[in-house]
Amino acid sequence: MSSILTNASALTALQSLNATNKNLQVTQGRIATGMRVAEAADNAAYWSIATTMRSDNKANSVVQDALGLGAGKVDTAYTAMNSAINVVDQIKQKVLLAKTSSAADRDRIQTEIGNLQSQLKDNIAGANYAGSNLLQTSSNASAVDKKLTVMTSYNRDSTGAVTTGTIDVDFTNIRLIDTNGATGAAKAGILDKAIGATGSPSILSLKVNGTASQTTATAFDNLLTGIEKALKGMASGAAELGAGKARIDLQKDFVSKLSDSIDRGVGQLVDADMNKESTRLQALQVQQQLGIQALSIANGSSQQILSLFRG
């Protein structure tokens, strides 16, 4: 039936064209954004999961920054500790040489030891990273300042409860100079505390000349014993720093890989397949052109009715 009030063919063609245009708009949006789930309306479940995982990955980015900062501090302290061990080893050699030297030679040796002691102080004072010096700390510091705490992980369970992992480096075993403001026996640094009985010198204050207590073989043996003890403590400190550095490096590598894995997982949920969308775009463009042609033909049928009334 032909009607001038209702053109069923045109309505059908228009509905088909509208559906094609809608699909074309969706495909063009996916190509423009590179995502098939760009908002909750596209797929509420996938969008929610992706949003949560992106948030977690931002936290992992903070963890990576914290690990990088911690690695810098520990690496700086480790380098300075090794340098200090080498200098103390040289001091040990000078003390051993002075044991059987004349008084005049001991004066010259003491000058060399004094230079090495100054070198130790300079090296340790320069071992700063981001305002932190792990080798020069106070034994009277508050609990929070008695160790270096490096955040290593951000953990969220199924209920939303959050915990963080840490790596702690205790200053007690790596402290070379104590900045507690005290003097003498009250010092707790490996290099500034007494290396023998009460009243004996520290590594930074020992002398091989000018004092009666260091004129005997036994006195020199006591100095050498104290130096060996200090070297042992420094070796333990270097080992602790090395272990901390190795663990931080491993965690940095893990967090980096974890972050990449989460990115890939989110991509599988929400990223568009560009090859598929490109093919779909071409098909929809053809459908759109055909739809427009079909609508034009359907609208032309009304004009044909006029021919029935022509004489």
CB 96 within 8 A of CB 155: no
- Is 281 in a helix, a strand, or coil? helix
Indicate if the alpha-carbon torsion angle 299, 302, 303, 304 is positive or negative. Answer: positive
User: Whats the size of the chain, residue-wise?
Assistant: 311
Total Cβ atoms within 10 A of residue 238: 19
Q: Render pLDDT for 208-258 as a digit per residue (tens, 0 to 9).
A: 887 645 667 888 898 999 999 999 999 999 999 999 999 999 999 999 999
Determine the Cα–Cα distance for residues 46 and 38; give it in Å rounded to an integer: 10
Nearest to 117 by CA among 189, 204, 25, 19: 204
Note the pLDDT of residue 219. Answer: 86
* HSE of 89, CA atoms in CB hemisphere, 13 A: 9
What does the DSSP 8-state code read for residue 35? B
Note the pLDDT of residue 235. Answer: 96
The neighbouring-strand residues paired with 133 are: none
Note the pLDDT of residue 306. Answer: 67
What does the DSSP 8-state code read for residue 202? -
Note the pLDDT of residue 41. Answer: 84
Note the pLDDT of residue 288. Answer: 85
Determine the Cα–Cα distance for residues 144 and 196; give it in Å rounded to an integer: 31
Indicate the residue type of 156. R
- By the 10 Å C-beta count (0-12 exposed, 13-18 middle, 19+ buried), 284 is classed as buried
- What distance lies between CA 156 and its chain's CA centroid? 18
DSSP labels for 82-132? HHHHHHHHHHHHHHHHHHTS-HHHHHHHHHHHHHHHHHHHHHHHT--BTTB
CB 85 within 8 A of CB 227: no
CB 31 within 8 A of CB 282: no
Determine the Cα–Cα distance for residues 63 and 151; give it in Å rounded to an integer: 6
Note the pLDDT of residue 196. Answer: 77
pLDDT, mean over the chain: 86
Segments of the chain scoring below 50 in pLDDT = 212
Note the pLDDT of residue 309. Answer: 66
Determine the Cα–Cα distance for residues 141 and 300; give it in Å rounded to an integer: 91
Note the pLDDT of residue 184. Answer: 58
Indicate the residue type of 229. K
Total Cβ atoms within 10 A of residue 151: 19
CB 200 within 8 A of CB 217: no
